[in-house]
Structure 1
Amino acid sequence: MTVPPARRGYAMPAEWAPHRATWIAWPHHRADWPGKFAAIPWAYAEIVRILSRHERVCILVQDAAMEHRAKGLLRKAAVDLKQVDFFRIPTDRVWTRDSGPIFVKHKDGGRIATHWKFNGWAKYPNHKRDDLVAPRIAKAANVPEYRVVHGRRDVVLEGGAIDVDGRGTLMATEECLLSPVQARNPGLGREGIERVFREVLGITQVIWLGRGIAGDDTHGHIDDLARFVGPGQIVLCEEKNPKDENYVILNENRERLQSARDASGRKVDVIPLPMPAPLLFDGMRLPASYANFYIANNVVIVPTFNDPNDRLALGLLAELFPRHVVVGIHCVDFVWGLGTLHCATQQEPL
């Protein structure tokens, strides 16, 4: 396949569009949660329990032994295993949002799994198995693969670096995709990456925000910062404490969004989403954010942090998604891995 997907009528759907399945990887890399790993499989069991009531859940496992252990744990958590599929696709880490394929869809129902190079967020050297996840998921899902190349170079992109409205608008941060720090595509530049988005994902308007939140080791992923919740509607994290390091970051991004327009030319409605109080562990600021929610069929799962703002965030998202059940999942231990629910999931559109 050499003709880019968008030239053939494909585009990336919004996350709230109907899903065939959610793809996740079963946790195994203990170094991502030093001292807290024992709690993580149970957090995954809760994710699978909730999602599997609404759509299929496809789980990547390292081998038969891991599949057996995962099934036993899921049974204890009262998961209906008839709604779960297992695939022996080895991973380095569990963040399928970033290593998995980004699916695009044609109006006739056809789908393509776009395969972007994964380089460990331009930071971690152990990413070779994760770099093979996207084509292996494409094969497992029986969906054609499109390898994203610019010139002779594979284009690097993680799913958590972008968010779309399904109508031609994409959000990303300059810190993640244009900075020389943890540079994904040196030399490609703003114009180059926008061209790739246009040809591969069907994007006609990119809204560029500035920096991502404190504690984010990806160097500015959008999915901890701002998310589309409907056409022309964006939730943006809000920090009210002037002494918090996120205060200036989030205010600058709000100013950008207030003057932004989407692909249809309209100004976007910016809805403030509260932030939890700073969450620290072992002296380290963690990227705790309610914006890392995941929209599945008829349900939205939201990270919670034993914080008074948990209920405010859940209430706001329930108002924004009146046709969905909004469920909080405890992520104080989970976020020690420097990601939560959206980072761990990747949707496959129906």
Structure 2
Amino acid sequence: MMTHESNTPAASGFHMPAEWDEHEATWLGWPHNRTDWPGKIAPIHWVYGEIVRKIAPGEIVRILVNSERHETQVRRILKRVGVDSGRVELFHFPTNRGWTRDFGPIFVRRNEPREVAIARFRFNAWAKYPDWDLDCHIAERVAETMGRRIFHVRHGGEDVVLEGGAIDVNGCGTLLTTEECLLDDKVQVRNPKLGRGDIEQVCRDYLGAGHVLWLARGIVGDDTHGHVDDLCRFVSPGTVVLCEEKNAGDENHWILEENRERLEGFRLQDGSRIDVVRLPMPEPLYLDGQRLPASYANFYIANSAVLVPTFNDPNDRIALGILADLFRDRPVVGIHAVDLVWGLGTLHCLTQQEPAA
């Protein structure tokens, strides 16, 4: 049964582990909202099947479904692609969309005594869309069903809005985010009363990551207005990959160069410099004239593999090679994401890790 705590996770010894730490499970919301993938929902189900097939050998995959009918569809697809049904758990938690990274529970862990809990941020559909009444309750439903303690994230007497894709942590106290996403006071404003210092205090108290590194803007085409998981990710406690656009005529070129300059001046929580590895960008992809957020940085680190979105692009091979050199302890696997990115997100946006207790 879930418990509401008045103290903060950090005060009780909790922190958000790095994504490469051992998982108990990966959470996914099975797709059903046809407006997320206009005219493409059918192939998306099979892409999800492939994602589950690659994750399940190393951890449990916990999938949110809307109904018995939805569950039947999911089990049929997973059986056909060869997923071991014993590695999958389905939960009848209706959702508005499938972007579990952003509305799902953010898990925190402490070592003594060993416990996994949930930091529950408020979700309001990226301060952009009106339909989030189901998604915003998923963290509570997971906490109650799984028997996890839940910390409701509040600051100044109000709930704090934050999506999982807006942050990335090294598990040692440092967190990456962007000013565009969390500090913009005009576009998709999440927390109009909170400034830089307030956000940093929230990250310290609820995620155990008070050393916040502020990048500038996210990539063009990102519907979230600046999520960091499309441009810069930790791959070890002291190393990040940062997307690079070599074409100076591309809109992303100077955005990414400004972020590179910032990273070169940053220090980690222990005062050391960050090792920055450049990750290429694929050629731009468009849907009905709208640029899509195609990026190799939206990879997901599972126990059994690192899943990387690929785009039928010459840089697919280069990006996979760079990440394979950085992740020597598990295979790096490409997942075809040309259809997936029509939904304005790919692999990291769909997944949420639950650390091993």
The answer to whether residue 283 in structure 2 is matched with residue 280 in structure 1 is: no
The answer to whether residue 272 in structure 2 is matched with residue 266 in structure 1 is: yes
Corresponding residue for 2:151? 146
TM-score with structure 2 length normalisation? 0.97
Q: CA deviation at 1:210?
A: 0.2
Corresponding residue for 2:233? 227
1:1-350 pair list within 5 angstroms: 1-108=5-112, 109-180=114-185, 181-350=187-356
The 3-state SS of whatever aligns with 2:214 is strand
Percent identical across equivalent pairs? 58
Provide the C-alpha distance between the structure 1 equivalents of 2:142 and 2:346, rounded to a whole number of angstroms. 21
Q: Which consecutive aligned stretches of 4+ in structure 1 deviate over 3 angstroms post-superposition? A: none
Provide the C-alpha distance between the structure 1 equivalents of 2:146 and 2:355, rounded to a whole number of angstroms. 11
Q: CA deviation at 1:131?
A: 0.3
| 1:27-53 CA distance string (max 9 Å, x none) | 000011111111100000000011001
| 1:80-123 CA distance string (max 9 Å, x none) | 11100000000000001000111110012211111100000000
Q: CA deviation at 1:147?
A: 0.7
The 3-state SS of whatever aligns with 1:110 is strand
TM-score with structure 1 length normalisation? 0.99
Q: CA deviation at 1:284?
A: 1.1
Provide the C-alpha distance between the structure 1 equivalents of 2:145 and 2:320, rounded to a whole number of angstroms. 34
Q: CA deviation at 1:134?
A: 1.0
Structure 2, unmatched stretches of 5+, are none
CA RMSD between the two structures:
0.7
1:12–1:164: 8 Å Cα contact kept in structure 2? yes
Q: CA deviation at 1:23?
A: 0.1
Provide the C-alpha distance between the structure 2 equivalents of 1:337 and 1:140, rounded to a whole number of angstroms. 29
1:235–1:270: 8 Å Cα contact kept in structure 2? yes
Provide the C-alpha distance between the structure 2 equivalents of 1:139 and 1:94, rounded to a whole number of angstroms. 20
The 3-state SS of whatever aligns with 1:292 is coil
Provide the C-alpha distance between the structure 1 equivalents of 2:137 and 2:272, rounded to a whole number of angstroms. 39
| 1:164-190 CA distance string (max 9 Å, x none) | 000000000000000011011002100
Structure 1, unmatched stretches of 5+, are none
1:14–1:165: 8 Å Cα contact kept in structure 2? yes
2:120–2:152: 8 Å Cα contact kept in structure 1? yes
**Aligned AA (1:94):** G
Q: CA deviation at 1:151?
A: 2.4
